[in-house]
Structure 1
Amino acid sequence: MTLIEIQKKLEAGVENSTVTMQGDGCNCSTLVVSPIFEGMALLARQKMVLAAVRTQIDSGELHALSIKARTPAEMA
């Protein structure tokens, strides 16, 4: 799975998000910025991001994903 494929899945799975990827297709990290995270706990944010790629993680296609999930205000 390529970084672009992962990025597209995350952008589709997290409303109004901007996704930045690093790493290779198997082990990677992401920064997901979305206003939808406003008021959400860190764990809830991570669960939302993981849900977008759960099938790929369960199948082993995506081995590891490090997640940073922030609001636009937190990035300012």
Structure 2
Amino acid sequence: MPMAADDIAGMIRAAIPDAEVEITDLAGDGDHYAARVVSESFRGVSRVKQHQAVYAALGGRMGGVLHALQLTTAVPN
């Protein structure tokens, strides 16, 4: 069963409250998304740790309910 973009964004915002989250459905199938997550909490944190924080927010849904997520993280300008 595919995940809705709003559900993905909500889970990320729940775990990273200050996050600005943009979700794009890449294939129109609810299984392949791109996410851009911008958060002050990422400042000074390695890109790997930033991505791990986002994946942790998704509660183990990667590779199961959520098949693919092209992830971009950043700190605010």
- Structure 1: 5+ residue stretches without partners: none
1:12 aligns with 2:17: no
Q: Provide the rounded CA distance (Å) in 1 between the counterparts of 2:50 and 2:16.
A: 10
Aligned-residue CA RMSD in angstroms?
Answer: 1.2
Deviation for aligned residue 1:6: 0.5
| Matched AA of 2:33 | C
SS of residue in 2 equivalent to 1:46: helix
TM-score between the two structures when normalised by the length of structure 2: 0.85
Q: Provide the rounded CA distance (Å) in 2 between the counterparts of 1:27 and 1:14.
A: 22
Q: Provide the rounded CA distance (Å) in 1 between the counterparts of 2:39 and 2:75.
A: 5
What is the aligned-residue identity percentage? Answer: 26
